[in-house]
Structures are given as C-alpha cells and as structure tokens.
Amino acid sequence: MNDGVPSYSRNVRDEPRQLQHQQMHEQEQEATLDDMLTSLQRLGVVGETISVELHEQSGLLGSLDDDLDEAGDRMDLAMRKLEKILGTKSRFGAMCCRVF
C-alpha cells in the first residue's frame, strides 16, 4: 500500500506511537512483577509460619511419644504384677482381666 508517502516517513510517524505502546507494555509488566513479588513475599511469610508450627507440633508429638512409652512401661509392670497375683504366665489370662 503506497499512498505517496515513503515507507521511511510512515515509520518515523509511527515511532512515537510504538514507543508509547512499548512503554505502556513495560508498565504493565512492572505492575505484574510487583504483584508477583508481593504474592511471593506473602507466601514466604506463610511458609515461615507453617515451619514454626510444624516445629512446635513435632516437639509436642515427641513429648506425647515419651508419655506413651512411659504409660506402656507402667502398663507392662502392672500386667506382670497382675499375672503374678493371678498365678498366670500367659498374656491370655491378663487379657481377660483387662477386658472385664
């Protein structure tokens, strides 16, 4: 399409519009990157909070495990005493006492 204006002249006239379009596109990209940065920072905070919570829960589970081990040891001792009192050596007699 040649309207009598050399193509170089058309390109020169379009440069300000192209520059404006490019600048607008760069501004949109900057806004998008800023939003992404904000989201990633929030995720970092959430990740840190989860890490702290998991560490605390791990400690609580460790304490619970220790308490259960101690309770199991006490139960074993009580069962051995009960077996001695009942005169049984099998776990079956103790199990019956435990059920009833």
* Domain total of the chain: 1
Question: Which pLDDT score is estimated for 14?
Answer: 78
In a domain, 1, yes or no: no
| Single-letter code of the amino acid located at 22 | Q
Q: Residue 92 pLDDT more than 80?
A: no
Q: Is the pLDDT of residue 24 over 80?
A: yes
User: In terms of residue numbers, what domain contains 20?
Assistant: 7-99
- The residues, ordered by sequence, that sit 6+ positions from 83 with a Cβ below 8 Å of its Cβ are 89, 90, 93, 94
**Is 2 domain-assigned?**
no
Measured between alpha carbons, how far is 75 from 70 in angstroms, rounded to an integer?
9
90 occurs within a structural domain: yes
Residue 8's pLDDT band (cuts 50, 70, 90)? low
Name the band, by pLDDT with cuts 50, 70 and 90, for residue 12: low
Q: Which of 3-12, 15-24, 26-35, 67-76 has the lowest mean pLDDT?
A: 3-12
